[in-house]
Amino acid sequence: MNQILIIYTGGTIGMMSDPKTKVLRPINFEQIMENVPELERLNARIMVHSFEHIIDSSNMNPDIWSEIAGLIKDNYDQVDGFVILHGSDTMAFTSSALSFMLENLAKPIIFTGSQLPISAIRTDAKENLMTAIEIAKAKKFERARVPEVCIYFDYKLFRGNRAFKYNSSKFEAFRSPNYPILAESGVHLKFSINDIRQPVDGPLKVHKKLASDVAVLKLYPGISPKVVKNILDADVRGIVMETFGAGNTTTDKWFTDLLKGAINDGKVILDISQCKVGTVELGRYETSKELKDMGIANGFDMTYEAAVTKMMFLLGQYEDPLIIKELLETDLRGELTVS
């Protein structure tokens, strides 16, 4: 019988409507169990770690990511897999961060939650929770079927650092347009074997140090020099720049001069596209060739969530901007496709 650790951080899945105010309030895990008696029929020993203070995922932060990573490290040898109950709003940030923080991962870490509370009549919470546990304990030849950090939502399993929340009102809350789903739930669980990363030999390494001194520069036509300068001059070491199309920006001299100045000051700038589908191709167009020449890092097809958390992770591990730039452009945990 497989042993699964459920880490309950909060989120809509663990909410209940107050009869008087109709406002959603958090409930404890015992109350969640009361709404899913089917859990007792699973062929698994379920352990639970509930956060002392259940949080809305909008309050998620790197300190809590480190706490979750520590819980995984402390229980890694005792369990076969992990299910993390988490609010959907920032789930893709947390799953992306954990994918970088956990090196040589060989066991499933499945994030899930719901769009409706588990006590609601039409809730999606029960299916999400039950199937997440099934995936976390799934093995073949005594090896985990999905030794990755993943998100399970609405019958689909996504790589955690490839998904993003795109819909706040449908059960189909997440998408992963640049990478295939890893499994799909129907009458049977169907795993996409060729798309699942296999673990490398070696013990689990947990990297808890993150640096949150990251700024975001989202471009738009007509952005002013004052706005760009204020962001680039901020007291940060890393900047995620959301550009147009395949990584393009304005070629106005004031703009490129400001970017060069930030790089000369030792800052690392990562170029990702505002498009949800496709990849950055620095140098393909004249409007991005100068970016490549000055040392802007190519984010390829990374999601915004993966780009921000990968920057935090690398800034926490290294000081040299050139090393950080090289690793930003390197596929570390299946987060990007090098074109």
Domains of the chain, CATH where assigned: 2-206 (3.40.50.1170), 214-328 (3.40.50.40)
Q: What is the pLDDT of residue 52?
A: 85
Rounded-to-integer distance, Cα 43 and Cα 32, Å = 19
Residue 243: closest CA among 284, 293, 287? 287
Element containing residue 305 per DSSP (H, E): helix 304-317
Residue 189 in contact with residue 152, Cβ under 8 Å? no
Per-residue pLDDT of the chain (339 residues; tens, 9 = 90+): 799 999 999 888 877 766 677 677 666 677 777 777 787 778 889 999 999 888 889 999 999 999 999 999 999 999 999 999 999 999 999 999 999 999 999 999 999 999 888 878 888 888 999 999 999 999 998 899 999 999 999 999 999 999 999 999 899 899 999 999 999 999 999 999 999 999 888 899 999 999 999 999 999 999 999 999 999 999 999 999 999 999 999 999 999 999 999 999 999 999 999 999 999 999 888 778 899 999 999 999 999 999 999 999 999 999 999 999 999 999 999 999 987
Contact 145, 152 (CB under 8 A): no
Identity of residue 284:
R
In the block, tokens 């040299």 appear at 320
Which of 12, 94, 249, 279 is catalytic? The answer is 12
Task: State the pLDDT at residue 287.
Answer: 77
d(CA 78, CA 94): 23
CB 300, CB 192: distance < 8 Å: no
Task: Count Cβ neighbours within 10 Å for each residue of 262-288 and write b for 16 or more, e otherwise.
Answer: bbeeebbbbbbbebeeebbbbeeeebb
For residues 236 and 251, give the distance between their C-alpha atoms in angstroms, rounded to a whole number: 24
Q: What is the pLDDT of residue 7?
A: 96
Active-site residue, 12 included: yes
Confidence at residue 100, expressed as pLDDT on a 0 to 100 scale: 98
pLDDT for 22: 67
Could you tell me the pTM of the whole model? 0.94
Is the dihedral angle over the CA atoms 247, 250, 256, 259 positive or is it negative?
negative
Give the count of beta carbons closer than 10 Å to the beta carbon of residue 232: 21
**The pLDDT of residue 243:** 97
**pLDDT at res. 81:** 97
